[in-house]
């Protein structure tokens, strides 16, 4: 195998993420030798790779100097990529202050630690039912049978989407976040997949909003349908973009953290035993699982002026890509960063981001993971991999698509 060098390392090719998982060695080399690295490769828009925790925080804290844009993440040239502007939509991820705050405040009171605690009973119930379905069987695909079900159900409940429509939401969400992956995207080109998914999405939510304007309820759909920015209702495109964002963001990432979390526990049996002996460790375990899995691989920023960062001269218009899983293993921040330790505390990862765009759903994701892993610790007596895992073809959001397991789950206590 060729030695790893700065000139040849690859952290963008989505096929590498399928074959090898996250490029931890590459990021470690960058953190050590070129923490603000000018990445130039054929077929990739040149960008500055930001791999250290401190730099990622520094950039994230300055949304005026390093702004968000339609160019959400770095990709390599493929037919149908990068995502066309209209596919990226107009939502929180590509807005900047002060507009970003206006939009965020339309719903953020529903995502505070206090607000999500009100969903705890529902989350417990959904989790219990998901695990009940596994009782008496010996093998399953943990992704499709468990990980995918909880976040989808929770966000759908928050919105007020009827159960009959959940399967469609799942399908469309997959098509919109992973269009480069043939299994999720469908058989047409990436661009066509996206357009089709988008249209179906918008049709459905247009109808839902019209209903919630006539008959408002205490749900997220009503909050958005009747919400105001700058004193006015949300414009149609931004309104529908908001729905897409909240569904996609809440669905994929939590699913990937859940799967990756169980995978980590299977791979670290001492930690699994530790959690089973003491399920009250679930909150710390959930945090370590977020750090360990870091489902969001990168987001970009664009410099709005010349700036010096990590001793490098950046120019106005330069693209920066922030690599969250790399910051999550920064040797300057974490003791033994490559150790999976469910009792790790403090755990100052930035895998939910930090600052203006800090993950709106972080508290919800944490609660879902805490409940899921506590219940797994209480009910899953035995688990092992039953076959190879398959990973998503993406260098934007990473995760395991299929994880066959052999297991035994206790009937409800």
Q: Are 329 and 24 in contact (CB under 8 A)?
A: yes
6 vs 307, beta carbon nearer other proteins: 307
CA distance 223 to 41: 45
CB of 57 to other proteins, least distance (A): 8
In the complex, minimum distance from the CB of residue 234 to other proteins, in angstroms, rounded to a whole number: 19
Task: Identify whether the C-beta of residue 239 lies closer than 8 Å to the C-beta of residue 226.
Answer: no
Of 223 and 354, which CB lies nearer to other proteins in the complex structure?
Answer: 354
Closer to other proteins at the Cβ: 366 or 374? 366
Contact 65/307 with Cβ under 8 angstroms?
A: yes
Q: Which is nearer to other proteins, 112 or 338 (CB)?
A: 112
Instruction: Pick the closer one to other proteins by CB: 258 or 351.
Output: 351
Select 107 or 377, whichever has its Cβ closest to other proteins.
107
CB 314 to other proteins: min, Å: 21
Residues 6+ apart with CB under 8 A from 233: 226, 227, 239
**Residue ranges that bind other proteins, judged by CB under 8 A:** 60-61, 98, 101, 108-109, 111-115, 348, 352, 354-356, 358, 362-363
CB closer to other proteins out of 106 and 152: 106
Least distance in angstroms from the C-beta of 345 to other proteins: 13
Long-range contacts (CB closer than 8 Å, 24 or more residues apart) made by 85-91 = 86/198, 87/191, 87/194, 87/195, 87/198, 89/198, 89/237, 89/240, 89/241, 89/244, 89/245, 90/237, 90/238, 90/241, 91/238, 91/241, 91/242, 91/244, 91/245
Q: ∠ at Cα 220 (217, 225), nearest 5°? A: 75
330/346 Cα distance (integer angstroms): 14
Q: CB-side exposure of 178: number of CA atoms within 13 Å? A: 27
Nearer to other proteins by Cβ, of 115 and 386: the residue is 115
If the CB atoms of residues 57 and 140 are measured against other proteins, the closer one turns out to be: 57
CB of 358 to other proteins, least distance (A): 4
CB of 366 to other proteins, least distance (A): 11
The least distance separating other proteins from the CB of residue 320, rounded to whole angstroms, comes to 18
Q: How far is the CB of 101 from other proteins (least distance, A)?
A: 5
User: At closest approach, how far in Å is the CB of 344 from other proteins?
Assistant: 15
Dihedral, 232, 234, 235, 239 alpha carbons, nearest 10: 180
């Amino acid at each position: 195998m060729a030695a790893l060098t700065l000139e040849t390392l690859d952290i963008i090719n989505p096929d590498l993420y399928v074959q090898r998982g996250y490029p931890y060695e590459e990021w470690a080399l960058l953190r050590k030798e070129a923490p603000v690295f000018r990445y130039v490769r054929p077929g990739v828009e040149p960008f500055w790779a930001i791999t250290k925790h401190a730099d990622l925080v520094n950039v994230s804290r300055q949304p005026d100097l390093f702004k968000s844009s339609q160019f959400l993440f770095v990709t390599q040239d493929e037919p149908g990529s990068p995502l066309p502007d209209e596919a990226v939509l107009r939502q929180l991820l590509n807005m900047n202050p002060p507009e970003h705050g206006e939009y965020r405040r339309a719903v953020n009171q529903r995502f505070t630690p206090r607000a999500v605690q009100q969903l705890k009973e529902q989350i417990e119930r959904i989790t219990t039912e998901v695990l009940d379905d596994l009782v008496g069987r010996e093998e399953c695909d943990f992704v499709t049978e468990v990980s995918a079900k909880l976040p989808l159900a929770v966000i759908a409940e928050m919105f007020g989407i009827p159960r009959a429509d959940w399967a469609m939401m799942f399908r469309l969400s997959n098509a919109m976040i992973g269009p480069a992956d043939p299994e999720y995207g469908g058989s047409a080109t990436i661009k066509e997949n996206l357009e089709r998914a988008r249209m179906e999405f918008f049709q459905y939510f247009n109808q839902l909003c019209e209903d919630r304007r006539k008959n408002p309820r205490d749900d997220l759909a009503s909050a958005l349908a009747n919400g105001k920015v700058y004193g006015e209702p949300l414009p149609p495109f931004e309104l529908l973009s908001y729905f897409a964002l909240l569904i996609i963001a809440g669905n994929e990432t939590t699913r990937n953290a859940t799967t990756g979390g169980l995978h980590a526990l299977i791979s670290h049996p001492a930690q699994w035993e530790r959690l089973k002996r003491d399920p009250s460790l679930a909150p710390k375990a959930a945090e370590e699982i977020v750090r360990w899995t870091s489902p969001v691989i990168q987001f970009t920023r664009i410099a709005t002026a010349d700036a010096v960062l990590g001793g490098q001269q950046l120019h106005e218009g330069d693209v920066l890509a922030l690599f969250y899983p790399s910051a999550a293993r920064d040797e300057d921040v974490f003791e033994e960063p490559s150790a999976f330790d469910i009792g790790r505390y403090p755990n100052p990862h930035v895998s939910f981001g930090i600052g203006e765009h800090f993950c709106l759903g972080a508290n919800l994701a944490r609660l879902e993971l805490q409940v899921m892993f506590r219940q797994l610790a209480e009910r899953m007596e035995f688990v092992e991999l039953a076959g190879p895992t398959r990973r998503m073809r993406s260098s934007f959001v990473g995760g395991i698509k299929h994880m066959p397991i052999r297991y035994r789950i206790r009937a409800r206590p």
